[in-house]
């Protein structure tokens, strides 16, 4: 009997403690969400939420994921319910607006992912007040990027603005990003990258500009990006490139120039790229004109075939007698 009494007392004590924890919110969890207490994570995935689930969120939450819901807005008041938050993932919701000073109550947030929402105009200081390192705004409706979104000397190392409606990227915004390592501006409507606008990005390693409307690049645009290792320029309208464009890119491993309007490249353009990976350079799907001006490309391909992706697919679009021929297969007499 004493043993049974002790067991009963233990169970009663445990039940009392659990009840106390729930009443004080330590083990609470919002309806429709799942809470993983040991790793301080909350997930609300594909549930009929219409409002940010501030009520019931454990205060010690460090990671919150809300995905594929009907939430349309989020405010500073909502977010500050979890003051220890470090990662906030809000993929594929219906977000149309964010409040100014959104992150003031969550100063430890380092990752904010807003992929696949309906965001267009964002207020000033929206991403200030937190030590953000990763900011993802991919696949929204943003037409204008604003320098006022971020504080001076931002801690961002990763910025993804791909899949929006940007026609330009302001130099004032890039000046605030001295620690940036990855910049993704692909699948926008960019027509030009202003000269010297990338100069502050001295730590940049990956630059993605593919699927825009760029027809040329300023000769000095990459002069300060000495650490660049990945450069994606595919699916633009590039028809000419400055001779010294890649002069400072001695660390470059991957260069994608496929699916542009290139007929020639200037002599010496590719010479600095000694660090290219095997298959690291893609020049396919360009209308190469195979006359005397293609000789530099022809000679470079002969020496660097292993660095080129599908070298035999780099073909002539003219003159008529050489249409469809691989540039690599040309003879010196044909070049003349």
Question: Is the pLDDT score of 27 beyond 70?
Answer: no
Question: Is the pLDDT score of 4 beyond 70?
Answer: no
For the chain, strand residue ranges (E) read 34-36, 41-45, 63-67, 73-74, 87-89, 97-98, 111-113, 134-136, 158-160, 182-184, 206-208, 230-232, 254-256, 281-282, 288-289, 316-318
Alpha carbons 302 and 300: distance in angstroms, whole number:
5
Average pLDDT, the chain: 92
Give strand pairing partners of 159.
Answer: 135, 183
pTM above 0.85, yes or no: yes
- Segment 85-114 shows an average pLDDT of 97
Burial 166-188 (b: 16+ CB within 10 A, else e): beebebebbbbbebbbbbbbbbb
Report which of 58, 60, 68, 122 is spatially closest to residue 92, judged by C-alpha positions.
68
Show me where the domains of the chain are located.
Answer: 185-336
Model confidence pLDDT, tens digit, residues 221-254: 999 999 999 999 999 999 999 999 999 999 999 9
Band the pLDDT of 150: cuts 50, 70, 90: very high
Q: Assign domain 185-336 one CATH number from 3.80.10.10, 3.40.50.1820, 3.30.420.40, 3.30.1440.10.
A: 3.80.10.10
3-state secondary structure of 3: helix
CA torsion sign, 269 to 274 to 279 to 280?
Answer: negative
């Amino acid at each position: 009997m004493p043993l049974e009494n002790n067991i009963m007392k233990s169970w009663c004590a445990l039940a009392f403690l659990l009840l106390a924890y729930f009443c004080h919110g330590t083990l609470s969890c919002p309806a429709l969400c799942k809470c993983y207490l040991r790793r301080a994570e909350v997930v609300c995935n594909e549930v009929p939420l219409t409002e940010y689930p501030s009520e019931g969120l454990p205060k010690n939450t460090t990671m919150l994921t809300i995905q594929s819901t009907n939430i349309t807005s989020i405010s500073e008041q909502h977010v500050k319910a979890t003051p220890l938050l470090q990662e906030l993932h809000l993929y594929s919701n219906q977000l149309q607006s964010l409040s100014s000073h959104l992150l003031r109550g969550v100063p430890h947030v380092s990752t904010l992912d807003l992929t696949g929402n309906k965001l267009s105009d964002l207020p000033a200081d929206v991403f200030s007040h937190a030590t953000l390192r990763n900011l993802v705004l991919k696949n929204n409706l943003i037409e204008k990027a604003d320098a006022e979104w971020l504080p001076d000397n931002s801690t961002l190392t990763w910025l993804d603005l791909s899949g929006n409606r940007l026609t330009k990227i302001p130099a004032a915004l890039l000046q605030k990003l001295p620690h940036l390592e990855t910049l993704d501006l692909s699948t926008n409507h960019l027509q030009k990258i202003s000269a010297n606008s990338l100069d502050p990005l001295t730590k940049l390693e990956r630059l993605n500009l593919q699927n825009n409307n760029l027809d040329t690049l300023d000769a000095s645009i990459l002069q300060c990006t000495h650490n660049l290792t990945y450069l994606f320029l595919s699916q633009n309208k590039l028809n000419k490139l400055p001779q010294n464009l890649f002069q400072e890119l001695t660390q470059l491993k991957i260069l994608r120039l496929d699916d542009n309007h290139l007929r020639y490249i200037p002599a010496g353009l590719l010479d600095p790229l000694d660090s290219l990976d095997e298959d690291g350079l893609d020049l396919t799907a360009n209308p190469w004109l195979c006359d005397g001006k293609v000789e530099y490309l022809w000679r470079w391909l002969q020496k660097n075939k292993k660095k080129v992706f599908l070298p035999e697919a780099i073909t002539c679009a003219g003159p008529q007698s050489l249409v469809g021929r691989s540039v690599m297969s040309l003879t010196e007499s044909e070049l003349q």
